[in-house]
Amino acid sequence: MNKPNIVILGAGYGGIMTTVKLQKKLGVNDANITLVNKHDYHYQTTWLHENAAGTLHHDRTRLPIKDVVDFSKVNFVQDTVLSIKPDDKKVVLENGELDYDYLVVALGFEAATFGIPGLIENAFTISSINSSRLIREHIDYNFAKYNNEAENKQERLNIVIGGGGFTGIEFAGEIANRVPELCKEYDIDRSKVRIIVVEAAPTVLPGFDPQLVEYAMNALEAKGVEFKVGAMLKECKPDGIVIEKDEKREEIPTNTTVWAAGVRANSIVEESGLEVNRGKVEVQPDLRAPSHQDVFVVGDCALIMNEETGRPYPPTAQIAIQEADVAAHNLSVLIKGGTELETFHFNNQGTVASLGHDDAIGVILGDKKLFGWSASVMKKIIDNRYLLKLGGVGLLLKKGKFNIFSK
Amino acid sequence: MNKPNIVILGAGYGGIMTTVKLQKKLGVNDANITLVNKHDYHYQTTWLHENAAGTLHHDRTRLPIKDVVDFSKVNFVQDTVLSIKPDDKKVVLENGELDYDYLVVALGFEAATFGIPGLIENAFTISSINSSRLIREHIDYNFAKYNNEAENKQERLNIVIGGGGFTGIEFAGEIANRVPELCKEYDIDRSKVRIIVVEAAPTVLPGFDPQLVEYAMNALEAKGVEFKVGAMLKECKPDGIVIEKDEKREEIPTNTTVWAAGVRANSIVEESGLEVNRGKVEVQPDLRAPSHQDVFVVGDCALIMNEETGRPYPPTAQIAIQEADVAAHNLSVLIKGGTELETFHFNNQGTVASLGHDDAIGVILGDKKLFGWSASVMKKIIDNRYLLKLGGVGLLLKKGKFNIFSK
């Protein structure tokens, strides 16, 4: 009865997919599998911008862990991870400790704020169900307040998005769709509302095809989004931000700054004593930590070099899900006494960024560019494919996106 | 072409009903009728507590003035009244001035705060569409924020209602129905939320039959409402209130104090130079101001003594609507050169207070007590009857309450 303990930290894309794969590969007599997560639900981080904008309810984005993880095969501990002690093979939780023989670190990302003054205190992030529905309610509240003050405050109607990367642009598209509804709800003239994307790079969506970037900017501008590119966010205050562009400073009044300009690995990883590079564990091809052969790392906490570009792969859901496949496979091999571990190779299935539910841009099949309705449909297909993989047809029907013909 | 100018200030119950009656009684050659209102919509003040609780959307409570007032017969000026100069027969608006030959003052109520420190700054009132939807959003926002803070703050989940009169009790009933939904929406345990009614009198609903009061308190307590009767509100702070009961002070943490413990007539009336008593114009039996025979006053700005009790009638929608009938009749008589004016007599059609959409208490036909489902149905019948009177069957079908069988 001396079964090895497998502990999986985090039920995001990487963690939950590793768990679901493992419960298929291993029998209850092979290992004790324990999944640790802060909440009793899994959520799709790539949908959170819709919850934040209020265009999709957060219950569509999350699902009970028990719906996809078989609790007769896997122990579930709802708790917050405080630290990892890899030399002691221990994990410290808020309400206890766990010993492990094998550990899967899938703790995801946190916002990187680069020391910009006031950002931690005053900006919102699209990082969890809690933080996203707070953005929705914060914007609603400011719009509701606007007509209740003797002097109208423009900062209540200005929405600033820090960062024109993937998340920033996707949120801009959603909130641009939402604003007309908000204006109707609170009797506010649409022309008074500003949505401003601030991006330090010379262009938004860096790394995307320039033609698609142009399409995206035009589409969003047509919906009333303003762009400040080549502009650095210098300070974030409760009622405004300071940006600098061409050595000129500008203040923009706003109560709502959504910071979407940078993520880093969960800082527990850096503090754990695992060997790190830029805060992440640069994993072996078998996804184990070089310094600790009993620790697998998947998702945003793992660093894998793209040998073609010489730069790390960006942290995406797609790569986390693929890593989970390999980690689960290798773990089951080790548990069964094998030694032949698989090597991770990223299989790029393309990237699609939504511009509201009715428009998108993307690249698939290596170099095929998509935009407009076809890209929007492709985005939903990608989302649905994940649900199918995670929980089968039942989950797909329950949580899938099928509104492909609505404009 | 020397037509007299009739100016009606306010499109609440009294003002809009006077206007609708007048447009039937007078032809376009008889008089110029001008209705002045801050918004281009009329709203049912007696439904606002539902909008504030979030159990009914505010668009159900309001209706475009143009839907019931015929703009080919009545001029509509959307503006805010700043002052009345009865000796000059003038009304000063934010964006202009109006001369009148006959004036109808129907400016409604404002909150009476009795000089309680912090109340104006920190408490909410259920007084308009704007203020009511703000309460809804404020509560939502605090619930959304609760799970986003390292240390949970009880003041975000405590809802204090200042005043156990009609509005306070009706709001308590609605918010008690709403809280379970809010808890589900924001993943909060229902047992953590408190709804506290603070009433200075020894009982809530003073003036109501004691048996019905007991029914109401039991019904609300069963929904989780707490009562502090005989307790004075001493101070209202942004994050709490101080009450005093039996010479003991208690602090209750709350970000949400809804003040429903007192109304007074719009202070423009007191400042106008019209003769006032307790801030209201004690009108003649024909509803004219004793000091100015060309000024009618209806609704919450008019004071009429109940000769049976020796006390003024309370400001209600019912009395405002009945006054509008008499004011419109008497105005049309005067316009047509008559002198035989009607005398106002209050016809008490009963009073029903809701305890959420599914329960109520009331007295009709003089002394018939109602409670539970039958009272709840009666409440909806009263609401529907008003819509029928104001805008006919079309309006009733559009805005009526027909959910009498839902529990």
Kindly report, residue by residue over B187-231, the tens digit of the pLDDT: 999 999 999 999 999 999 988 899 999 999 999 999 999 999 999
Distance CA A303, CA A138 (A): 35
- How far apart are the C-alpha atoms of B241 and A148, rounded to whole Å? 22
Asked if A231 and A105 sit in the same domain, the reply is no
Is the CB of B145 inside 8 Å of chain A's CB atoms? yes
Which of B329, B349, B369 is the endpoint of a domain?
Answer: B349
Among B229, B156, B174, residue whose Cα is nearest residue B197:
B229
- 3 state SS of B171: helix
Based on the fold, state whether residues B246 and B294 are members of the same structural domain. Answer: no
Is B203 part of any domain?
A: yes
* pLDDT tens digit sequence for B263-296: 999 999 999 999 999 999 999 999 999 999 999 9
Q: Residue A404: which pLDDT band, with cuts at 50, 70 and 90? A: low
Amino acid at A35: L
Catalytic residues of B: 170
A68-72, A155-159, A180-184, B308-312: least confident range? B308-312
CB contact burial B239-255 (16+ within 10 A = b; e otherwise): ebbbbeeeeeeeebbbb
> Which pLDDT does position B11 carry in this prediction?
97
B62 touches chain A (CB under 8 A): no
Chain B interface includes A136 (CB < 8 A): yes
Which residues in chain B have Cβ-Cβ distances shorter than 8 Å to A133? 144, 185-186
Which pLDDT band, with edges at 50, 70 and 90, does B137 fall under? very high
Residue A162 has pLDDT above 70, yes or no: yes
Instruction: Let me know whether A296 and A280 are in one domain.
Output: yes
User: How far apart (Å, rounded) are the C-alpha atoms in residues B323 and A11?
Assistant: 65
Is the distance from CB of A395 to CB of A68 less than 8 angstroms?
yes
Share of chain A above pLDDT 70, in %: 99
Q: What pLDDT is stored for residue A407 in this prediction?
A: 43
The answer as to whether B369 is a domain residue is no
Residue A376 lies in a domain: no
Q: Which residue of A has its CA nearest to B58?
A: A185
Query: Which residues on A lie below 8 Å from B151 (Cβ)?
Result: none
B164: exposed, middle or buried (Cβ count in 10 Å: 0-12, 13-18, 19+): buried
CA distance to partner chain B, nearest, from residue A149 (Å): 10
Cα separation, B115 vs A308, whole angstroms: 73
**The pLDDT value given to residue A1:** 56
Do B143 and B217 reside in the same domain of the chain? yes
Q: Is residue B406 part of a domain?
A: no
**Is 70 exceeded by the pLDDT of residue A406?**
no
Distance between CA B393 and CA B400 in Å, rounded?
Answer: 10
**B198 & B279 share domain:** no
Q: Does A291 touch chain B (CB under 8 A)?
A: no
Answer whether residue B259 shows pLDDT above 70. yes
Q: How long is chain B? A: 407
In A, minimum Cα distance to B133 occurs at A144
* Residue B1 reports pLDDT greater than 70: no
Contacts of B146 (CB under 8 A, 6+ apart): B152, B153, B156, B157, B186, B188
d(CA A11, CA A24): 17
Those residues whose C-beta lies under 8 Å from the C-beta of residue A323, and which sit 6 or more positions away, are A14, A287, A298, A299, A302, A304, A344
**Same-domain status, A330 and A246:** no
With 90 as the cut, is the pLDDT of residue A366 above it?
no
B95, B165: one domain: no
Residue A130 in contact with partner chain B when CB distance is under 8 A: yes
* Residue B235 clears pLDDT 60, i.e. is over it: yes
Confidence of residue B364 (pLDDT cuts 50, 70, 90): confident
CB-based contact, A38 to chain B, within 8 Å: no
Residues B131 and B233 in one domain: yes
Asked if residue A322 and residue A301 are part of one domain, the reply reads yes
How many Cβ atoms sit within 10 Å of the Cβ of residue A182? Answer: 21
- Asked if B73 and B33 touch (Cβ cutoff 8 Å), the reply is yes
Phi, psi of B363 (to 5 degrees): -130, 125
Set of chain A residues whose Cβ sits within 8 Å of the Cβ of B131: 148
β-strand B102-105 against B256-259: which pairing, if any?
unpaired
Number of compact structural domains in chain B: 2
Task: Say if A57 falls within a structural domain.
Answer: yes
Chain B residues touching residue A121 (CB < 8 angstroms)? none
What's the pLDDT score for residue A25?
Answer: 95
Q: Is there a domain that residue B378 lies in?
A: no
- Confirm or reject contact between B151 and chain A (CB < 8 A): no
Q: Which domain holds residue A198?
A: 119-261
C-alpha–C-alpha distance, residues B168 and B221, integer Å? 14
Q: Determine the Cα–Cα distance for residues B221 and B195; give it in Å rounded to an integer.
A: 10
Contacts A–B by Cβ distance under 8 A: 45
Do A129 and A191 lie in one domain? The reply is yes
Same domain, B244 and B291: no
CB A369 within 8 A of CB A211: yes
CATH number for B238: 3.50.50.60
Q: Which residue of B has its CA nearest to A59?
A: B185
> Taking CB atoms and an 8 Å cutoff, what residues of chain A touch B141?
137-138, 140-141
Whether B237 and B145 map to the same domain: the answer is yes
Mean of the per-residue pLDDT values of chain B: 94
In a domain, B278, yes or no: yes
Query: What's the mean pLDDT in B93-99?
Result: 96
pLDDT of residue B407: 43
Q: Find the residue in B nearest to A121 (Cα).
A: B149
**Interface residue of B128, B129, B141 to substitute, partner A, most A CBs within 10 Å:** B141
Last residue of a domain, one of B349, B373, B392: B349
How is residue A1 annotated by DSSP?
-
Determine, for residues A147 and B140 on separate chains, whether the beta-carbon distance falls below 8 Å: no
CATH number at residue A93: 3.50.50.100
Indicate whether this complex's ipTM tops 0.85: no
Residue B357 maps to a domain: no
What's the average model confidence in pLDDT over A113-136? 95
Boundary (domain end) residue, out of A211, A237, A261: A261
